Amino acid sequence: MGRLHVLPAQSRAGARVVRRSHAVAETENSKAGERAGRLLLGPLSRCVGRECGVCDGSVEEGVHMDVTGDIVRAALDEAGGRVEHDEMGVRVHVTRSPTEPMSIVFRPVLHLPFQGRKRVVVGSREIVYGAGDLVIVGAHLPALVQVTRASAAEPYVALELSLDRPLLSALVAQMPPSPKKDVESVAVDSLPESVLEPSLRLLRLLPNPTEALILGPGVKQEIYYRLLAGPVGDALRGLLHAESALTRIEGVTEWMQNHLDTPINVGHLASHANMSVGTFHRQFRKITGTSPGNYFKTVRLHEARRQIVAQAGTLAQIASAVGFVSPAQFSRDYKRTFGVAPSRDAARFRTSTDAPAAWRPQAAHPTSAGDPEHGDRTSTPENQVTGRSAVC
């Protein structure tokens, strides 16, 4: 698929300079005028579309920069970087400094970063993405995540939509048929520019609950349609193919998410996926990057940490609720995963009075244990943890 050039956020003034430079260059054909135009444009002289006399690019680039800049401002100013709209499955992510690698369990989502950069490791795959990309996560996946480019002046900013398969199915049913395509559990491609404007409208709705409830679903549907109609459409359609390995393994991981206190039987899981045991093992590791047993332990631990944050019971009760028979084994696995003993986590969360909302329980996201991406990392409890943290 071809990559569309969506620039990182720039100021309105900067965008006006770009457009003014284009206008000067188009009206003044002298070489001096062209040199002046290049000087004004500097590193921004990368355009697409019809040719420009100054930088061999497009007059429309300034418009794209304006929209992207507006999206970032809406996320930071209007949405405040701490918005989560459960009814629509919408989140705004903001991180104001680089982070250490953190242990997470991805949920199936569409992740639209508009500023900054992030590195993700799923199994043996290393994935880097940032402004102008679209990230499609098709299954619940254990991973390591690290924000590599973020600052107070230019935070990491992203819009995230929980993957809405019923909406995808309804839209695909109304569109021309497309050939089946196998897709990766995590796919990264260019964000179509047609998605920018509805993304901005959605962000501007979020601070008003009534407007978000009434108008938001229509805007969300438009975003999904624009994605389906663009270069990434086949990848999204691939998530709906009932016979694909990804769809069948995702059905198994969803069952695991809902039965954390139930001992797993690989033969039963393979039957659920309609695969032989050998094929199931291979496909599960290929898609999730780990074995069924390790996967199940990881999601159990993340749910345990969510319950510790919520102060949902004693450590022994929480360990039992997520399927650990031995409290000692629970403590060892917890510390190995999160870098801190569960007793220390419990004490810290009991005494913490300024933990951001993202570290409080989120009923609509059962795998969430906390998310430093929603706020300034310097103010979140996981700064005191050596090593890995839970985030969803």
pLDDT at 18: 35
Residues whose CB falls within 8 Å of the CB of residue 21, separated by 6 or more in sequence, listed in order: 37, 40, 41, 54
Task: Kindly list the domain boundaries of the chain, sorted by start residue.
Answer: 12-72, 77-238, 245-391
CATH class for the region spanning 77-238: mainly beta
Rounded-to-integer distance, Cα 309 and Cα 356, Å: 12
Per-residue pLDDT, 45:
29
Supply the angle between the helices 12-27 and 31-41 in degrees, to the nearest 10.
170
d(CA 138, CA 237): 11
Q: Any idea which residue has 């969510």 for tokens?
A: 306
Give CA 247 to chain center in angstroms: 19
Q: What parts of the chain have a pLDDT lower than 70?
A: 1-66, 78-87, 242, 352-392
> pLDDT tens-digit profile of 244-277?
888 899 999 999 999 999 999 999 999 999 999 9
Q: How does DSSP classify residue 123? A: T
Question: Which run of H or of E encompasses 390?
Answer: strand 390-391
Cβ–Cβ under 8 Å, residues 87 and 213: yes
Question: Running DSSP on this structure, what letter comes out for residue 96?
Answer: S
Compute the distance between CA of residue 272 and CA of residue 277 in angstroms, rounded to an integer: 11
Q: List, in sequence order, the alpha helices (H) in 104-208.
A: 165-173, 196-205
What local confidence, expressed as pLDDT, does residue 80 receive?
A: 54
Domain covering 245-391 in this structure, CATH number: 1.10.10.60
Q: What is the pLDDT of residue 15?
A: 36
C-alpha–C-alpha distance, residues 250 and 310, integer Å: 27
